Structure 1
Amino acid sequence: MKRIGVLTSGGDAPGMNAAIRAVVRKAIFHDMEVYGVNYGFQGLINGDIKKMELGSVGDIIQRGGTMLYSARCEEFKTEEGQQKGIESLKKFGIEGLVVIGGDGSFMGAKKLTEKGYPCIGVPGTIDNDIPGTDFTIGFDTALNTISEAIDKIRDTATSHERTYIIEVMGRDAGDLALWAGLADGAESVLIPEAEDTIEDVVDRLRRGHERGKRHSIIIVAEGVGSGVDFAREVEKRADLETRVTVLGHTQRGGSPSASDRVLGSRLGASAVDLLLSGSAGRMVGIEKNEIVNHDILEVLEQKHTIDLDMYRLSKELSI
């Protein structure tokens, strides 16, 4: 294999640029040509592809987002869209592709592999919701962003003796909420993977109030519901003044942490190694600090699970 491509797809995540840099420089080290695809699978369909050199990825390792941009692409879910993408690959002589993104991106990589174009997936999403890897690129940075925000919010919660509801990202996965809750001593954490009723939260708030506690932090993963709606219910049932903070897309931005830079570099380089070895339809990941790889189809068929021991611990420590 002498010519490969790299693209980022789906939601951006801090550390993606480190992965792109690793793909480009690892490939060039092995005398391969590398082509960057702008705007994910949409750019592949449109032929928005450029050759990358060593200097193309200079000074990007510390930058958030993705230098190759990203976009959702419904067209690539169709046979016609996939065929357009393949025509672009043929036009540029690209023999293999590194796809950095989440499960939707991996589905596209799987389709291309099935049609004869070897793809390797690199997990990049702040939600940390991809099976087959302990951590995804971007999770650590997003977690630190949330933690810093909660530290600031706790200061004002203490000053005004209020209950703060903080809504974080995590449509189908509660990792960000759970890890942030444990890191910042939240009184309650609500995640999609565990059943915790409004009554449980209110009872915990009342017990704290009875022993003299006048402020609380409650973290809600967006997959559980709206932080605003949850706050209304708390006020109604507990007669406590609440404030809501929806962190939103601030969680995706910012310079990647050292951990995400290292993870992106390791996974990006490993993806190139797999293409060089003739592998296809694989996803690289990290388990117990060792780089591993799994069949993408097996990854897509698995369901993300949460560490319930951590969830129980967060409840035990918030009594």
Structure 2
Amino acid sequence: MKVAIIGAGAIGKLLASYYAKQHEVTLVTRRQAQADVITAHGITKISEAGTIKYNVRATTTLPSADIYLVTVKYHHLQAIQPLLAQVATTLVFLQNGLAHQAFAEQFSCDVVIGTLTTGAETKDETTVYERGRGVMKIAAAKAQVIWQLNQQDLPLVQADSTEVLWQKAMINSLINPLTALLNLTNGELISNPYAYQLMQLIYQELIEAFPEKKHLLVFEDVVQLCHNTAKNTSSMRADFLAERKSELATIVGEIVAEAAAKQCQLPTLQTVYYALLAIEERRSK
């Protein structure tokens, strides 16, 4: 099967390493220089099992494919909208927050909303660290082609579309902003007693604001995820360290807004949110 992965960041490269074993994989990059180096050298995955190199092609244009996986962050979606509009097969949005779904509704092809629980971290343009294995959760899809991606390295799990989005968004609201503000790895969130207490406070706020979604956010599961991805640098922490635009607004901001619409307060999460916004504001000047 021909698989196109749009976005050659950490998640894009990791997915390419998974699927290159069984499928013909093409990475779609923003820069021609990165496309050239990936085509020349492939993708290298570093994991606990060792270091393995995979042959992967890369391009800056839309290739012909049976399925397209979109791994770019929300604020990059508008720029690639003309590219995505050309897709006539199956388009899978793998997202961190709640905002992607509205964007995805404009496309006439078969659209699938999904999330990942796998950890990944970029080393360089062709190399990625696997920071803990997980699953890909997907909403119901008309096309069955996506099930050809099901494999031991990354099992596919089907779930309700709303639950898929909310579970990922709430987990990310617990992990990402704290790792960014405190400059901690995922594992340090549970080994540092003060960070752990902050995470517990935010968890309590979330389940009090959204009791109907309590079953989606079990604290022990979040702790286990931090343990499984202990060495991982969250995407938000990586963005703040590199002084790049983050998904703060579309992950945490959306959750805060949803709570406000219910006249609920998230004081700890909102304080962390405003602190990170203040850092972004300072850097923008």
| Coarse TM-score class (shorter-chain normalised) | 0.3 to 0.5
Compute the TM-score of the two structures, normalised by the length of structure 1: 0.31
Q: Which has the higher contact order (CA 8 A, sep 6+)?
A: 1
Compute the TM-score of the two structures, normalised by the length of structure 2: 0.34
Q: Which has the larger radius of gyration?
A: 1
